[in-house]
Amino acid sequence: MSTLPARKFRNPRAKHDFKGRTCSIASVGSYVPDRIVTNAELEKLVDTTDDWITSRTGIKERRIAAADEFTSDLGAKAARRAMEKAGITADQIDLIIVSTITPDMPFPSTACLVQQKLGATRAAAFDLEAACSGFIYGLEVGQQFIMSRTYDTVLVIGAEKLSSIINWKDRNTCVLFGDGAGAAILQSRPNSHGLLTACMGADGAKAELLSMPGGGSRCPATVASVSDGLHFLRMEGKETFKSAVNAMCSAANEVLRRCEIDITQVKLVIPHQANQRIIDAVGDRLGTKPGQVFVNLHKYGNTSAASVAIALDEAVTSGQVQRGDLVLLVVFGAGLTWGAAVIEW
Ligand code: UT7
């Protein structure tokens, strides 16, 4: 029998016999590099304007990591901040999941490199690749280990050094992305529901819309692949935009339905930060009120797997989310992939 107090929502996991076990987000932390690159600086690199970038995307600036700062460094810094807030030490971590499309190298995993940096010697570690949907995929995978009692403490990180795969001569993409990392500590804590439900989706038929064609088994690195620019991120923006709005709305509605709540009961919606027009379209279709949708896109651009993790940390730190509030996370990215989650913070 659960000892949890009655809540005004349904916990979809209650139908399973978890004997009171829940998956709580004990803390979140984030890190962005110091270097700010403004739209004005990009005007000097490519044929673009601050006005175009601001009106078409909502982005004003982004953070770019130093040459000697890698995805594992960003992830480890975000993780240390989350660990400090949760009051846990590295030796308590059972599992590290790093969601990223910009690993330090193809192998070993960035999660193993983070494990070494944190000194989390007891932890198992692996990477998960779901592009911009990676943080929700990571939370959902991590919570399975908590609910099954396999592990007690799971560290989920979304970290990206997207600047390392951007073609700085391509105005269609270089203005959109930034570097950063966010981390969450998952634990089962008494009297806390935490992650109520999450859904994940994918459509590999649309893989070509957003990809980096080179560097894998299909197209290993050669002089020709490098000179053809196959090791840079490519995107068909308009088609990706349409798919994003549809997939994010249906994923959000799915998790609201599972929890038997409507949008008015959600304190804050935290969508993937890719484009202000996508965020507005999703907010409109879900029927959100002014101020109910969190935005930090103007400061960081699209940080892929780190995006909603950084946003959740900023929402908590700024007091926009308090313990007990319901938060809706909703994401979309290459794959295509998408997902949504309801959290009782
Ligand atoms: O995180 C994963 C998911 N990612 C997304 O969801 C991103 C989805 N897509 C988008 O956010 C938008 O499609 C973009 C911001 C990428 C592009 O906006 P758009 O309104 O779809 O513009 P467009 O691609 O249709 O381009 C319109 C025009 C083009 O010129 P012409 O062909 O009309 O003469 C582009 O060449 O804007 C031009 N353009 C630019 N102009 C100035 C494209 N990029 C730029 C730029 N500066 N940086």
Supply 13's token pair: 């996991």
Tens of pLDDT along 201-224? Answer: 999 999 999 999 999 999 999 999
Catalytic residue among 23, 112, 132, 259: 132
pLDDT at position 15 is: 59
Percent of residues, the chain, with pLDDT higher than 90 = 91
Instruction: Report whether pLDDT(163) > 60.
Output: yes
Tens of pLDDT along 3-45? Answer: 455 567 787 766 565 667 889 999 999 999 999 999 999 999 9
Find out whether 209 and 101 touch, Cβ atoms under 8 Å: no
302 classed as catalytic:
yes
Supply 58's token pair: 């909502």
Dist. CA 165 → ligand 1 center (Å): 18
Question: What is the residue-averaged pLDDT of the chain?
Answer: 95
Find out whether 122 and 34 touch, Cβ atoms under 8 Å: no
Dist. CA 176 → ligand 1 center (Å): 9
If one residue of 241, 249, 303 were mutated to test the ligand 1 pocket, choosing by the most ligand atoms within 8 A of its CB, it would be 241
Q: Which residues line ligand 1 (CB under 6 A)?
A: 48, 52-53, 56-57, 132, 171-172, 175, 210, 237-238, 240-241, 244, 274-275, 278, 302, 332-333
Q: How far is CA 139 from CA 28, 51, 186, 282, 299, in A?
A: 12, 36, 8, 22, 24
pLDDT at position 14 is: 64
Residue 133's contacts (CB-CB under 8 Å, 6 or more residues apart) are 200, 272, 305, 331, 332, 333, 335, 337, 338, 339
Helix, strand, coil fractions of the chain, as percent rounded to 5 = 40, 20, 40
Supply 267's token pair: 């304190």
Which protein residue has the closest C-alpha to ligand 1 atom 28?
A: 172
Tens of pLDDT along 58-92? Answer: 999 999 999 999 999 999 999 999 999 999 999 99
272 classed as catalytic:
yes
pLDDT at position 217 is: 95
Instruction: Report whether pLDDT(1) > 60.
Output: no
Find out whether 176 and 302 touch, Cβ atoms under 8 Å: yes
Instruction: Report whether pLDDT(157) > 50.
Output: yes
Q: Walk me through the domains of the chain, giving residue ranges and CATH numbers.
A: 12-187 (3.40.47.10), 195-344 (3.40.47.10)
Supply 218's token pair: 């299909």
Please state whether the predicted TM-score (pTM) of the whole model is above 0.75.
Answer: yes
Which protein residue has the closest C-alpha to ligand 1 atom 38?
A: 172
Instruction: Report whether pLDDT(2) > 60.
Output: no
| CA–CA separation, 14 and 27 (whole Å) | 23
CA 94 to chain centre: 21
